[in-house]
Structure 1
Amino acid sequence: MLIYPLILPDRLELVLITPNSEPARYPVPVTQAELNAAIVAFRQALTDPTSGAPRAVAQQLYQWLIAPMRDDLEAIDAETILYAPDGALRYVPLAALHDGDQWLIERFRINHITAASLQDFTLRPDPQPQILAAAFSEGSFQFQVGQRSFSFGGLPFAGIEVEKLAEAFPGTTQFINDAFSRTAVEPAMDSHTIVHLATHATFIPGSASDSFILFGNGDRLTLQEIKEQWQGRFNQVDLIVLSACETGLGDAGLGTGEEILGFGYLMQEAGAEAAIASLWQVDDGGTQVLMNAFYAGLGNGMTKAEALRQAQIALITGDFTAVGSDRGTIEILSTRTGLPQNVSDRLDHPYYWAPFILIGNGL
Structure 2
Amino acid sequence: HSLGNHQKAINFLKKSLKISQQIYDRPGEAISLNVLGSTYNVLGDYQKAIDFLQKSLKISQQIGNRPGEAISLNVLGSTYNVLGNYQKAIDLHQQSLKISQQIGDRQGEANSLGNLGSAYYFPGNYQKAIDFLQKSLKISQQIGNRRGEATALRSLGIAYYSLGDHTKAIDFYQQSLEICQQISTRDGEACSLESLGSAFFYSGNFTTAETYLKLGIEIYESLRIGLEDKHKISIFETHSGIYRTLQQVLVAQNKTNEALEIAERRSAHALVELLKQDLSPQPDKQAPKYPSLEQIQQIAQQQDATLVTYSLVSSKKLYIWVISPTGKIEFRTVDLPQETSLKELVTNGQACILLDQCRNDTNQTIPTAGDWVKLKDDQFSEPWQVVDIQQNTLKLRLESWEKGTTIQRPITDVVEIVDAFNRQHLQQLHQLLIQPIADLLPKDENDRIIFIPHEQLFLVPFPALQDEDGKYLIEKHTILTAQSIEVLSLTHKKRQQLPDSVQGALVVGNPTMPIVRTSAGKTPEQLSNLPHAETEAVEIAQLLNTQPLTGKNATKAAIVPKLPQARIIHLATHGLLDDFKGLGTPGAIALAPSGTGEVNDGLLTAGELFEMKLNAELVVLSACKTGQGEITSDGVIGLSRSLIAAGVPSIIVSLWSVPDAPTADLMTRFYQHLDKNNNKAEALRQAMLDTMKEHPNPKDWAAFTLIGEP
- What TM-score, normalized by structure 1, do the two folds share? 0.80
Aligned counterpart, 2:614: 234
Work out the CA distance in 2 between the residues paired with 1:58 and 1:355. 13
Work out the CA distance in 1 between the residues paired with 2:521 and 2:325. 48
Following superposition of structure 1 onto structure 2, how do residues 92-171 of structure 1 map, counting pairs within 5 Å?
92-101=460-469, 102-115=471-484, 116-121=487-492, 130-139=504-513, 141-146=515-520, 151=525, 152-170=527-545
Q: Does 1:4 align with 2:309?
A: yes
Distance 1:18-1:219 versus aligned 2 partners, 3 A rule: same
Following superposition of structure 1 onto structure 2, how do residues 245-284 of structure 1 map, counting pairs within 5 Å?
245-246=624-625, 256=632, 260=636, 262-284=638-660
Give the fraction of aligned pairs with identical amino acids, expressed as a percent.
Answer: 29
1:16 deviation in Å?
Answer: 1.1
Cα displacement string for residues 301-331 of structure 1 (whole angstroms, at most 9, x for unaligned residues): 241111111000111124xxxxxxxxxxxxx
Aligned counterpart, 2:350: 43
1:97 deviation in Å?
Answer: 0.4
Aligned counterpart, 1:70: 438
Q: Is the 8 A contact 2:539 2:668 kept in 1?
A: yes
Aligned with 2:517: secondary structure? strand
1:34 to 341, 355, 358: 341
Matched to 2:705, the amino acid is I
Aligned counterpart, 1:25: 331
Aligned counterpart, 1:354: 702
Distance 1:200-1:77 versus aligned 2 partners, 3 A rule: closer
Work out the CA distance in 2 between the residues paired with 1:138 and 1:186. 16
Q: Is the 8 A contact 1:199 1:216 kept in 2?
A: no
Cα displacement string for residues 242-286 of structure 1 (whole angstroms, at most 9, x for unaligned residues): 111326989xxx955967464323212212121111111112111
Aligned counterpart, 1:215: 591
Aligned counterpart, 1:84: 452
1:71 deviation in Å?
Answer: 1.4
Matched to 1:360, the amino acid is G
Q: Is the 8 A contact 2:513 2:591 kept in 1?
A: no
Work out the CA distance in 2 between the residues paired with 1:106 and 1:75. 12
Work out the CA distance in 2 between the residues paired with 1:213 and 1:52. 32
Work out the CA distance in 1 between the residues paired with 2:576 and 2:639. 11
Distance 1:159-1:214 versus aligned 2 partners, 3 A rule: same
Higher helix residue share:
2
Aligned counterpart, 1:299: 675
Matched to 2:331, the amino acid is R
- What TM-score, normalized by structure 2, do the two folds share? 0.42
Matched to 1:312, the amino acid is M
Work out the CA distance in 2 between the residues paired with 1:88 and 1:96. 16
Distance 1:196-1:74 versus aligned 2 partners, 3 A rule: closer
Cα displacement string for residues 110-148 of structure 1 (whole angstroms, at most 9, x for unaligned residues): 11112433214378799x963210122555624244466
Work out the CA distance in 2 between the residues paired with 1:354 and 1:257. 24
Q: Does 1:184 align with 2:564?
A: no
Q: Is the 8 A contact 2:480 2:707 kept in 1?
A: yes
Aligned counterpart, 2:575: 201
Aligned with 1:39: secondary structure? helix
Q: Is the 8 A contact 2:587 2:638 kept in 1?
A: no
Matched to 1:241, the amino acid is V
Distance 1:150-1:353 versus aligned 2 partners, 3 A rule: farther
Distance 1:74-1:255 versus aligned 2 partners, 3 A rule: closer
1:191 deviation in Å?
Answer: 2.2
Matched to 2:677, the amino acid is G
Work out the CA distance in 1 between the residues paired with 2:592 and 2:531. 12
Aligned counterpart, 2:158: none
Work out the CA distance in 1 between the residues paired with 2:513 and 2:325. 51
Aligned counterpart, 1:327: none
1:190 deviation in Å?
Answer: 2.4
1:223 deviation in Å?
Answer: 1.5
Structure 1 unmatched ranges of 5 or more? 319-346
Work out the CA distance in 2 between the residues paired with 1:11 and 1:352. 32
Structure 2 unmatched ranges of 5 or more? 1-305, 356-364, 366-416, 594-600
Q: Does 1:288 align with 2:595?
A: no
Q: Is the 8 A contact 2:352 2:423 kept in 1?
A: no
Matched to 1:5, the amino acid is Y
Q: Does 1:52 align with 2:431?
A: no
Work out the CA distance in 1 between the residues paired with 2:592 and 2:455. 33
1:51 deviation in Å?
Answer: 3.9
The number of residue pairs the alignment matches comes to 325
Q: Is the 8 A contact 1:82 1:111 kept in 2?
A: yes
Aligned with 1:20: secondary structure? coil
Q: Is the 8 A contact 1:202 1:248 kept in 2?
A: no
Q: Is the 8 A contact 2:514 2:603 kept in 1?
A: no
Work out the CA distance in 2 between the residues paired with 1:66 and 1:40. 18
1:234 deviation in Å?
Answer: 1.5
Of 23-32 and 75-84, the range deviating more from structure 2: 75-84
Aligned counterpart, 2:27: none
Work out the CA distance in 2 between the residues paired with 1:136 and 1:204. 20
Work out the CA distance in 1 between the residues paired with 2:623 and 2:583. 19
Matched to 1:239, the amino acid is L
Higher strand residue share:
1
Distance 1:148-1:13 versus aligned 2 partners, 3 A rule: farther
Aligned with 2:620: secondary structure? strand
1:150 deviation in Å?
Answer: 6.0
Distance 1:285-1:150 versus aligned 2 partners, 3 A rule: farther
Cα displacement string for residues 172-212 of structure 1 (whole angstroms, at most 9, x for unaligned residues): 13211221122211111222211011111112489745521
Work out the CA distance in 1 between the residues paired with 2:515 and 2:649. 31
Q: Is the 8 A contact 1:264 1:360 kept in 2?
A: no
1:298 deviation in Å?
Answer: 1.1
**Aligned-residue RMSD, C-alpha:** 3.0
Matched to 1:81, the amino acid is I
